[in-house]
């Protein structure tokens, strides 16, 4: 099977180790020394014969014109999560698509659980207080409101990551609620959560609100000013999904009032301009989009990709098929 690698070459070195590269070479007719980020640099006759694309971060858009140039294309295996760079028409043409979304959900869920735990204990804010005041912190008196036990955690979106977070929280004896219009009460119960039909209502009962909905046109700004206003005083918003899901101007207003706190791994844009308030507000813990797979975790994505290619070559369906979402 003739294959091409479309991805950032720097990331590819971390995703595919020696063992994964050797296995791909055994199964495919592929030049592993070439990873392309533009289809324009690939000869038309090579594109025309390509049956499989292995894609990752930095892949070019696979639009209708690209698909027309690859009439033999049978499948796309993506070692990233989202596949919004692939035109929805690909599925209609019978092209099988796989994503490592489930593999990438693992570190995001782990990161989120760590942030929920630290938020419940006020760890970030007490650390700053401790450094500023340089005195003993009387935990029983000053931190009586803290602790993970019996804390109310609201989950926005029972996605692959949101579901994994709830499953991991079940053993922590917390009160879990979830908002997701596509999830049944039975499924929420299986995840250890109570289904809340209204997002404002979910916020009003959440000491910690963690965002895990997919980034699609209908979810843009879903954590609105009304939702943020409904959060109890001292609540924490955690976002490890996408910045566009939160009304960022409304969030900044709430944070500047000092009423709530935020732990943000993503913003809109993903790299904020210099001087943005979120960089300096004392009630914000900001990280540069590192919840997803980094460092050694990237190998998990490579292993998952090789496993899907093995299934394809053997004539078996993908373990993790995915359909590209509608595009704006």
* 39-76 confidence digits (pLDDT tens): 999 999 999 999 999 999 999 999 999 999 999 999 99
Q: What is the pLDDT of residues 151-177, one digit of tens each?
A: 999 999 999 999 999 999 999 999 999
Is residue 327 predicted with pLDDT exceeding 60?
no
Interval 12-18 mean pLDDT: 95
Give the pLDDT confidence score for residue 226 in this predicted structure.
Answer: 98
pLDDT for the residue 35? 95
**pTM summary value:** 0.91
Going along the chain from its start, the domains and CATH numbers come out as 3-103+295-313 (3.40.50.720), 149-286 (3.40.50.720)
What are the pLDDT digits (tens) for 27-42? 999 999 999 999 999 9
pLDDT in tens, 276-326: 999 999 999 999 999 999 999 999 999 999 999 999 999 999 999 998 766
- pLDDT at residue 187 in the model: 97
Q: What is the pLDDT of residue 33?
A: 93
pLDDT in tens, 181-211: 999 999 999 999 999 999 999 999 999 999 9
| pLDDT class of 234 with cuts at 50, 70, 90 | very high
CA dist 102 and 98 (Å) reads 11
- Which pLDDT band, with edges at 50, 70 and 90, does 216 fall under? confident
């Amino acid at each position: 099977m003739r294959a091409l690698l479309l991805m950032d070459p720097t990331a590819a070195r971390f995703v595919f180790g020696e063992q994964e590269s050797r296995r791909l070479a055994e199964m495919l007719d592929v030049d592993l020394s070439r990873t392309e980020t533009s289809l324009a640099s690939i000869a038309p006759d090579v594109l025309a014969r390509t049956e499989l694309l292995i894609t990752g971060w930095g892949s070019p858009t696979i639009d209708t014109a690209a698909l027309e140039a690859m009439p033999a294309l049978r499948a796309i295996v993506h070692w990233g999560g989202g596949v919004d760079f692939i035109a929805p028409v690909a599925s209609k043409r019978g092209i099988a698509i796989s994503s490592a979304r489930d593999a990438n959900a693992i570190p995001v869920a782990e990161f989120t659980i760590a942030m929920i735990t630290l938020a419940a204990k006020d760890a970030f804010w007490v650390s700053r207080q401790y450094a500023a005041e340089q005195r003993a912190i009387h935990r029983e008196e000053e931190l009586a409101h803290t602790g993970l036990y019996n804390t109310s955690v609201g989950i926005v979106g029972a996605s692959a990551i949101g579901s994994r977070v709830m499953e991991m929280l079940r053993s922590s004896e917390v009160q879990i609620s979830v908002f997701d219009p596509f999830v049944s009460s039975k499924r929420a119960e299986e995840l250890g959560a109570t289904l809340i039909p209204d997002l404002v209502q979910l916020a009003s009962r959440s000491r910690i609100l963690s965002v895990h909905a997919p980034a699609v046109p209908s979810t843009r700004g879903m954590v609105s000013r009304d939702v943020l206003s409904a959060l109890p005083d001292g609540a924490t918003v955690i976002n490890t999904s996408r910045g566009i899901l939160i009304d960022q101007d409304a969030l900044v207003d709430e944070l500047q009032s000092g009423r709530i706190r935020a732990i943000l791994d993503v913003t809109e844009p993903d790299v904020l301009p210099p001087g943005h308030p979120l960089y300096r507000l004392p009630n914000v813990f900001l990280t540069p989009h590192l919840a997803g797979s980094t460092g050694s975790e990237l190998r998990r994505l490579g292993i998952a990709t090789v496993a899907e290619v093995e299934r394809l070559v053997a004539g078996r369906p993908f373990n993790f098929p995915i359909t590209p979402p509608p595009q704006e």
